[in-house]
Structure 1
Amino acid sequence: MLAAKVAAPLPEGHWPRQTDVGTMHSGHTIRTYEGYLIESRLAADLESRGQRVIWLRPEEHELKQASLARMLASVDHHPPISGLSGKSTVVVQLAVGAKPGPTSGLAAGCEIVLASILDGTGPDEGAFARLPADRSAAGAAAEQLGSSLPAKALDRLVAVASGRAALIDSVLRVSRGPSARSAMLAIERAHDVQSLIAATTAGLLENADPVRLDALALAARLGYAHDRLSALRAAVDAAEREPWWQPLAGGWQRLHYLWGKALLFLPAAMTASRRDRLIRLVGELEAEGAHAEAIELCARTGAWDTAAEVLIDCLDIVLGERTDAVRRWLDRFPPTILARHPALSRLRTELALEPPRGSQLPQEAWVALHESCVALTEMRLDTARTHARRAGQLGRQTGEAAVHGYAKQLVRLTHEVGRIKAPHKGMDQFLRAVEFAARLDSAAYRNMPTGSIQVPARASNGDSREGPPAPRRAEPARPVRHPAVADVRPSDASDLVAYLFGDFRLILDDQKVTSWSGVLGKSLLKYLMIQRPKPVTRGKLLAAFWPGVPLASAKNRLHVALHGLRTDLRQVSSKPVVVHNRDAYTINPELTVWLDVEEFTRLMAAGTMLARTGGRDDAIRALQAACSLYQGDLIEDTPFAEWFVPERDRLATTYLDLLAQLARLHFDDGRYPACVDTCRRLLARDPCWEQAHRLVMRSYLRLDKPHRALAQFELCKRQLQANLGMTPDPKTISLYESIRAHRVV
């Protein structure tokens, strides 16, 4: 599952409070129209209650208890945070238009359901609130955000957006940077919500380069992005200045619903560059364990062959947990794709439901109408047209005049949207089509059986609580681990725990340090941790942080930074962390310290040693444990500090070597799918690593997939040409020719 689905919005307080969180009880449902509720403000209000906030965003097919249980169990459980009660508030944010239902209480804490619909699309619209923002609230937010909009433009923005606070907030963020002029022009041209979003989006992307447009087109179909997904990095390079992104915890970005729909109108032709980017993104998603999201992405982009191959590769993983999702994917595969993959065709037959009979035909007509609406909102126009025509045929057969009429309108809409080429007009028309489809989908839901939403109690093993447990296969005896392969989690006896890979996190005496008075003190602490256990002289610190600054001034800045750092740490623990001795600074040697960087290095060395001495299983476990610690490059939240660049580069190279070694061990052990998965993670960071390309080709050959081996060679050739202007190594070419000639390799 994609980690972004359980990442909470970053809390912000630029807007007035929109909901009374003090009166919310377990099972409370917030019903709003899309674009009014500012989720970052709600997150801040919920955190103010003194409870940890957990945010779940299930898709419609993930609303069963078992799926929600897996999402809840996947949340990273950090140590208790000082000041919090130990209870949790779980927010279940439904997809736009999904129906809220009854909830079940959590063991400790409460759950809140967020449900939203588009204007005019709900069967019980009276239950939904608009929460409009007035001019004074928008003015205060604009001032806090640093927006340069003049008063007249702000008045018009509030009016055009009909008080939708989230939409206004998005445009205000654009208007505070170099795109302010583009935002003002869009506001002047707009006359309603759809035209505002279309004009703003078209203006911002008018001169965008093809690489960025390709990345945004894929991100629009995934719904999320992160800069560690290299295929989408170009889409989030300027996320803070773009209206469509919502920042989440862990560095994730989420597309706001209506903005994301506008981005779907970007050219969807599968060019060679976009195909390469899609394949790279699919590999990165699989490396994240997001197999379902990878398949769904392929389906939404029309890459059905790739979707089929990914599904076959991960069938053992998803079939037991997501049988309904697998059935849904198989129903969507074109017949030509199923014909090319007999294994999927047989599986579809095994999982197929009983064919509809007489009285069920009306029900089938409404289902086809629903599928057409969903496809239209995802800009899959051909699929939407096919389902609409089928719904119309069934409507005629059964006398369902409403279905027949709706289907004709959907077919007409797909043709209209497909004919428009101008971005501004096309996005505007498409957004109106999305709203119309949502209204039809609501009508379809009223004629279809619906399930309920249940939030399960927290289950450590993620098991479903529905019905009798499925029979389990006998598990092999757990192998005895080599002493060098220890648990990578920090010991309970650790006084100080620090995570330096990815975003910096510090836990002192079992309490997370969240309050920092300044950036410099925090950076000094990171520097000392990286240098540990060596003491760092004052002169070295001054040269690293204040080069060229007069000595007296630099010393004063160092003392101020250290004083602020010690003050921050004393709020959590009285134990001294940074100590000074003989004109040098170091982390207190009397503390029991656990650093992910040190543990990574230890496990890497242990795995290498075990591989050399023949302990292959223990070597694989050690290297996999080291991989799990590498959550991103060294202190990614301090990107512009020059003092750690050599160490960051060294560790990044070590990580690539680790992946290469682990992939080779998997291959030698006959674990070919694991080898392919590991190589994909390596190639996502270095797409020109030819040894990894060759290992993937050999693995596919062992898996009886020579076509994928040949496709890997083509990808290798394109990456080398695009990035280095080179052709493949003779070894790679020889392997390719051997595979084509069906020779044993």
Structure 2
Amino acid sequence: MEQIFRTKLDKEAQILLKVPSLLGFRDRNMVAPLLLDASQKLKDNLLLQGLLAEHGLAGLEYHPGYTLKVQTLGNLRLWRGKEEIGSKEWQREKALELFLLLFLNRGKYLPREIIFDTLWPEDDLETAARNFKVSLNAVRKALEPDRTAQQTSFYILRSRSNYGFNPQASYVLDAEELERLIRLGDSAAHPHHQAELYREAIKLYRGDFLEDLPYLEWVADERERLRSLFLDTADKLARYLYEREENEEALKLTELLLQHDPCWEPAYLLQMKIYARTNRPFLAVKVYQRCCAVLDRELNVTPMPAIERFYQKLTSKM
């Protein structure tokens, strides 16, 4: 890399360093350690300094060389670039919780006292501080296993007694992508384009937010917010498909809705309407009976008036 910058790069070579490609670097962060290493020896190279600035590396001495990928919809999974971080790498459960606390509060520093109260609420100050130190080291090791003891952590930053996730770090988060696609769909001018964006968003929803960590009370609000966002979006897409008489896809979507919320009444009503208009009234009756049983068992209520009215109208013709 050093020799490359001692010569003048042509435009094609510069592009390979800047843009992810099959011929260059698929993850643009892969080039970061090489650029930083070269910068230590060629401090006055203008091309190199320009690339450092363009990659957000100016002033850094260390970069791990990959993008962090975080899957939070359904079971939690994390990757360093293409390499998945195994559960044993966290060494202890609280280390993973510490990472999540800092990552989900990215953009701000959390005081140690807030971290202690959230993760070790029953420990005295000395015990919490000791547990925090061990967990913090485990987080840094899991995220940056090749970092030396002399190098400052890239992902986890410290400011006095406050800690935070590096706002300059590259990451991919499925929950953010879900929201981005839904926002694009909401603002799409054409219904067909809107439906395609909603479909892509729904595919990302593999399950509730951090579904395998139900005991984390401090993520409950975010879990419910994302769940409501998914349900509302899937409901809008199901109604659109119903209006276009794309019956089978609409039925699949209503079943998906009921998998995530068995008490989602609009899904039952839509199923009844689809079965009725496709000459399957007895299936519509079964849907009604299922709806009644679920609502009675889960909420001790009867179906909403729209369902009752449609059922009465349906059975009067049978």
Does 1:510 pair with 2:85? no
Which residue pairs with 2:275 in the alignment?
A: 700
For residues 553 and 641 of structure 1, the distance between their equivalents in structure 2, rounded to whole angstroms, comes to 21
Secondary structure of the residue that 1:666 maps to in structure 2? helix
**Per-residue deviation, 1:594:** 0.7
Question: Could you tell me which amino acid in structure 1 is paired with residue 121 of structure 2?
Answer: P
Q: Does the aligned pair in 2 maintain the 1:682–1:692 contact within 8 Å?
A: yes
Q: Does the aligned pair in 1 maintain the 2:106–2:167 contact within 8 Å?
A: no
Q: Which runs of 4+ in 1 moved over 4 A?
A: 572-575
1:478-523 Cα deviation digits (max 9, x unpaired)? xxxxxxxxxxxxxxx9611111122222111332222222211111
Q: Which one has a bigger Cα radius of gyration? A: 1
Does 1:578 pair with 2:150? no
Question: Could you tell me which amino acid in structure 2 is paired with residue 505 of structure 1?
Answer: R
**Residues 1:733 and 1:546: Cα distance change in structure 2 (over 3 Å):** same
Secondary structure of the residue that 1:722 maps to in structure 2? helix
Does 1:636 pair with 2:211? yes
Question: Could you tell me which amino acid in structure 2 is paired with residue 504 of structure 1?
Answer: L
**Residues 1:694 and 1:494: Cα distance change in structure 2 (over 3 Å):** farther
Which residue pairs with 2:284 in the alignment?
A: 709
TM-score (norm 1): 0.32
**Per-residue deviation, 1:582:** 4.9
Which residue pairs with 2:308 in the alignment?
A: 733
Q: Does the aligned pair in 2 maintain the 1:604–1:658 contact within 8 Å?
A: yes
For residues 311 and 76 of structure 2, the distance between their equivalents in structure 1, rounded to whole angstroms, comes to 44
Q: Does the aligned pair in 2 maintain the 1:672–1:702 contact within 8 Å?
A: no
**Per-residue deviation, 1:586:** 2.1
Which residue pairs with 2:176 in the alignment?
A: 598
- What does 1:252-263 align with in structure 2 at a 5 Å threshold? none
For residues 270 and 220 of structure 2, the distance between their equivalents in structure 1, rounded to whole angstroms, comes to 30
Which residue pairs with 2:241 in the alignment?
A: 666
Question: Aligned-pair RMSD on alpha carbons?
Answer: 2.4
Q: Does the aligned pair in 2 maintain the 1:508–1:572 contact within 8 Å?
A: no
For residues 701 and 686 of structure 1, the distance between their equivalents in structure 2, rounded to whole angstroms, comes to 23
- What does 1:245-644 align with in structure 2 at a 5 Å threshold? 495-514=67-86, 515-571=89-145, 576-610=154-188, 613=189, 615-644=190-219
Secondary structure of the residue that 1:547 maps to in structure 2? coil
Q: Does the aligned pair in 1 maintain the 2:90–2:142 contact within 8 Å?
A: yes
Q: Does the aligned pair in 2 maintain the 1:679–1:696 contact within 8 Å?
A: yes
Q: Does the aligned pair in 1 maintain the 2:110–2:164 contact within 8 Å?
A: yes
For residues 164 and 243 of structure 2, the distance between their equivalents in structure 1, rounded to whole angstroms, comes to 44
**Residues 1:572 and 1:695: Cα distance change in structure 2 (over 3 Å):** farther
Q: Does the aligned pair in 2 maintain the 1:502–1:635 contact within 8 Å?
A: yes
**Per-residue deviation, 1:637:** 3.0
**Residues 1:585 and 1:618: Cα distance change in structure 2 (over 3 Å):** farther
Which residue pairs with 1:42 in the alignment?
A: none
**Residues 1:665 and 1:588: Cα distance change in structure 2 (over 3 Å):** same
Q: Does the aligned pair in 1 maintain the 2:102–2:164 contact within 8 Å?
A: yes
Unaligned runs of 5+ in 2: 1-26, 28-64
For residues 310 and 204 of structure 2, the distance between their equivalents in structure 1, rounded to whole angstroms, comes to 34
1:81-106 Cα deviation digits (max 9, x unpaired)? xxxxxxxxxxxxxxxxxxxxxxxxxx
1:273-298 Cα deviation digits (max 9, x unpaired)? xxxxxxxxxxxxxxxxxxxxxxxxxx
**Per-residue deviation, 1:737:** 1.8
**Per-residue deviation, 1:632:** 1.8
Does 1:650 pair with 2:225? yes
Q: Does the aligned pair in 2 maintain the 1:500–1:635 contact within 8 Å?
A: yes
For residues 682 and 509 of structure 1, the distance between their equivalents in structure 2, rounded to whole angstroms, comes to 33
Unaligned runs of 5+ in 1: 1-78, 80-492
Q: Does the aligned pair in 2 maintain the 1:494–1:594 contact within 8 Å?
A: no
Question: Could you tell me which amino acid in structure 2 is paired with residue 672 of structure 1?
Answer: N
Partner residue of 2:261 out of 648, 666, 686: 686
**Residues 1:735 and 1:520: Cα distance change in structure 2 (over 3 Å):** same
TM-score (norm 2): 0.71
For residues 230 and 93 of structure 2, the distance between their equivalents in structure 1, rounded to whole angstroms, comes to 28
Secondary structure of the residue that 2:172 maps to in structure 1? strand
For residues 729 and 517 of structure 1, the distance between their equivalents in structure 2, rounded to whole angstroms, comes to 50
For residues 572 and 661 of structure 1, the distance between their equivalents in structure 2, rounded to whole angstroms, comes to 47
For residues 670 and 582 of structure 1, the distance between their equivalents in structure 2, rounded to whole angstroms, comes to 61
For residues 307 and 313 of structure 2, the distance between their equivalents in structure 1, rounded to whole angstroms, comes to 10
For residues 503 and 685 of structure 1, the distance between their equivalents in structure 2, rounded to whole angstroms, comes to 15
**Residues 1:718 and 1:638: Cα distance change in structure 2 (over 3 Å):** closer
Secondary structure of the residue that 1:503 maps to in structure 2? coil
For residues 733 and 564 of structure 1, the distance between their equivalents in structure 2, rounded to whole angstroms, comes to 56
**Per-residue deviation, 1:659:** 1.9
**Per-residue deviation, 1:525:** 0.9
- What does 1:83-232 align with in structure 2 at a 5 Å threshold? none
Q: Does the aligned pair in 2 maintain the 1:511–1:572 contact within 8 Å?
A: no
**Per-residue deviation, 1:524:** 0.9
For residues 730 and 645 of structure 1, the distance between their equivalents in structure 2, rounded to whole angstroms, comes to 31
Secondary structure of the residue that 2:164 maps to in structure 1? strand
**Per-residue deviation, 1:570:** 2.6
Q: Does the aligned pair in 1 maintain the 2:94–2:135 contact within 8 Å?
A: yes
For residues 571 and 605 of structure 1, the distance between their equivalents in structure 2, rounded to whole angstroms, comes to 36
Q: Does the aligned pair in 2 maintain the 1:509–1:573 contact within 8 Å?
A: no
Which residue pairs with 1:455 in the alignment?
A: none
Q: Does the aligned pair in 2 maintain the 1:513–1:572 contact within 8 Å?
A: no
For residues 288 and 115 of structure 2, the distance between their equivalents in structure 1, rounded to whole angstroms, comes to 48
1:512-539 Cα deviation digits (max 9, x unpaired)? 2222222111111122222223333322
